[in-house]
Chains A and B, each alone.
Chain A
C-alpha cells in the first residue's frame, strides 16, 4: 500500500448555509491518479478547494499527513486575457514559494521554469504573450506553472474543458507521462467519465451531494455505475479504449441512419 498523503473523514462541505457535499470519505496516497467525475455543480471543485485549504469542512476533517507541495491547474479561462503577461512570467509564479524574501527570482528559478516548459513541450514560447496562445497551449502553460512548483500533488480542475479532441488527447497523454515519470499524485477533475476512465487508477464519483470512491476496476462496472447514476449505463471497449455511455444513447447510435 502506498504512503497516504491526505485523508478526508466524514467531511461535510459547502458555502455559507448551503451544503454541497455530505459525509465525504477519501484517502489520497502517493503516486495515485484520481479522477473526480460528476456533472457541473456536483461539488468536484468544492472538494478540490477543501483539499487546498481554501474551504474548511462544516463537519468532519481533512488531514494532510505531511506537507506536500500542491500544483494547482485551473481552466485556462481563469486567467484574464487583459493581463499583459509572458509565458515565463506565468510559469515563474510557480517558484514564488521557493523565491525567498520579497519573492525575487534567482537563476535557478528561471532554469526550473524553463525545465517545466520543456516538460510540457512549449519551451520555445517562453517569451510569447500568454494571451496570444491557443487554448491547448494556454493549458500547457498552466500545467508548466504547476510543475515549476516541483509538486507532489497535481490538482487539475477541468483542464480539458472546451478543447478540441486532438488537444484533449495530447493533454491526457502529457498527464500520463508526468504521472509515470515523476510519480506525482494526480487529481483530475472532469465531467466526462470516459475521459477519466482511460487515464486514472482511482475514481471519485460525485452524485447527489455524495461521493463514491474506489479503484477504477471496482467502480467502472455497468452495475455500479447504473446504481450510482440511477440510469442504465454501459461500459465497453474499443481498441483498448474504454467507452462509458448511457444505454439509451448507445441505442440511438445503433439506430442512426446509415
Chain B
C-alpha cells in the first residue's frame, strides 16, 4: 500500500484528494443538515459548465468555472424565501440538469473536444502539480478558517434564523459567508477532483457522520475521517488495480456511507 507514495504524482494526488475531501466533507455537514444537497450538485455542474464555456471560447477555463460558481452562489443567496410557487429544491434540480447538459455541449463543441469530458466530470487527480496543490490547500484553509471563526453563528442560523437574529447574529452576512465559502471550495476543488467527486465528498461522508453522530461535533469528526480514509483507500485501489482515480474514491466513499447506514439500522442507539 505504501509503495504508491514513492511516486511524486501520486503523493500530490493523495494530498489533493485528502485536502479537498476533508474540507468538502466538513462543509458538507452543513449542506446535508440544511437540506440543500442539490445545491452542491448544482454548483459543481455550474462550475463544470463554466469550464466547458471557457474551453469553447478559448478563455481561462478555471476562471470561467469560478465565475459560474459564484454566479450560482449569488443567485441562490438572493432567491426570495417565498416558496409558495417554486421550492428552492425544484429550482436547484432544474439548474443541475441544465448545467450538466450545457457542460457536455460546451466541451463537445470546443476545439479541444471530448477528451476533456472525463477530466471535467471526474477530475484529473493524477495530474495535480505541486503549485496547484499549494493553491488548493490555501483556498481550503481559508474556507475552513471562515467556518472555524463563524462556527456558532453558522450553527445558530442553520438551527433557527429568527432566533439567531434576535440574539444579534447578522443572519444575512452569515448566510453570505456560508454560501461564499461553499462556492470558493467547490470551484477550487473542481479542477483537481472533478464535479462528481466534489459532489460525492459534499454528501457521502456527512451522511455517514450524521448517521452515527450523537452531537454536531461528532458528525464533523466522522465526516472528515470518512473523507480522509476514502481518499486514501480509493487512490490505493486506483493504483493497485489500474482504475480511474476519481471514480475509485467516490466508490469507496459510497461503500463506507452504505455500510454506515446498514450498521446504523442494525444497531439503533
Task: Spell out A's residues near B (CB within 8 Å).
Answer: 15-16, 49, 52-54, 70-72, 74, 78-80, 82-86, 89-90, 93-94, 96-97, 99, 102-105, 129, 145-146, 149
Contact with A along B113-153 (1 / 0, CB 8 A): 00000000000000000000000000000000000010111
Is the beta-carbon distance between A129 and B214 smaller than 8 angstroms? yes
Is the beta-carbon distance between B166 and A72 smaller than 8 angstroms? yes
Chain A positions within 8 Å of B153 at CB level: 96, 103
Is the beta-carbon distance between A78 and B160 smaller than 8 angstroms? yes
- Indicate whether A83 sits within 8 Å of B33 (C-beta atoms), given known contacts A52-B166, A74-B162: yes
Chain A positions within 8 Å of B162 at CB level: 49, 52, 54, 72, 74, 78
Is the beta-carbon distance between A93 and B159 smaller than 8 angstroms? yes
CA distance A86 to B217 in the complex (A): 11
Chain A positions within 8 Å of B89 at CB level: none
Taking CB as reference atom, which chain B residue is nearest A101? B149
9 pairs from A and B in contact (CB 8 Å cutoff): A80-B159, A83-B216, A84-B216, A93-B160, A96-B153, A96-B164, A96-B169, A129-B215, A146-B163
CA distance A52 to B164 in the complex (A): 11
Chain A positions within 8 Å of B168 at CB level: 96-97
Most chain B CB inside 10 Å of its own CB: which residue of A54, A102, A103: A103
State which of A54, A74, A82, A84 has its C-beta within 8 Å of the C-beta of B215.
A84
Contact with A along B156-182 (1 / 0, CB 8 A): 101110111111110000000000000
State which of B35, B82, B165 has its C-beta within 8 Å of the C-beta of A82.
B35
Taking CB as reference atom, which chain B residue is nearest A153? B166
- Indicate whether A90 sits within 8 Å of B159 (C-beta atoms), given known contacts A84-B210, A84-B214, A96-B152: yes
> What total of chain B residues lie within 8 Å of the partner, measured CB to CB?
28
Is the beta-carbon distance between B163 and A93 smaller than 8 angstroms? yes
State which of A52, A96, A102 has its C-beta within 8 Å of the C-beta of B149.
A102
Most chain A CB inside 10 Å of its own CB: which residue of B149, B151, B156, B218: B156
Chain B positions within 8 Å of A78 at CB level: 160, 162
Chain B positions within 8 Å of A129 at CB level: 214-215
Chain B positions within 8 Å of A84 at CB level: 210, 213-216, 218-219
Chain B positions within 8 Å of A83 at CB level: 33, 158-159, 216
Distance of B266 from chain A, by nearest CB (Å): 20
Chain A positions within 8 Å of B35 at CB level: 80, 82
Taking CB as reference atom, which chain A residue is nearest B32? A82
State which of A79, A102, A104 has its C-beta within 8 Å of the C-beta of B159.
A79
Chain B positions within 8 Å of A54 at CB level: 162, 165
Distance of A148 from chain B, by nearest CB (Å): 9
Chain A positions within 8 Å of B151 at CB level: 103
Chain A positions within 8 Å of B166 at CB level: 52, 70-72, 149
CA distance A90 to B159 in the complex (A): 9
- Indicate whether A80 sits within 8 Å of B163 (C-beta atoms), given known contacts A89-B216, A96-B168, A102-B149: no
Taking CB as reference atom, which chain B residue is nearest A72? B166
Chain B positions within 8 Å of A89 at CB level: 155, 215-216
CA distance A86 to B216 in the complex (A): 8
Can you list the 8 inter-chain pairs with the closest CB atoms, starting with the nearest?
A: A103-B152, A97-B168, A72-B166, A97-B167, A96-B167, A84-B213, A93-B156, A70-B166
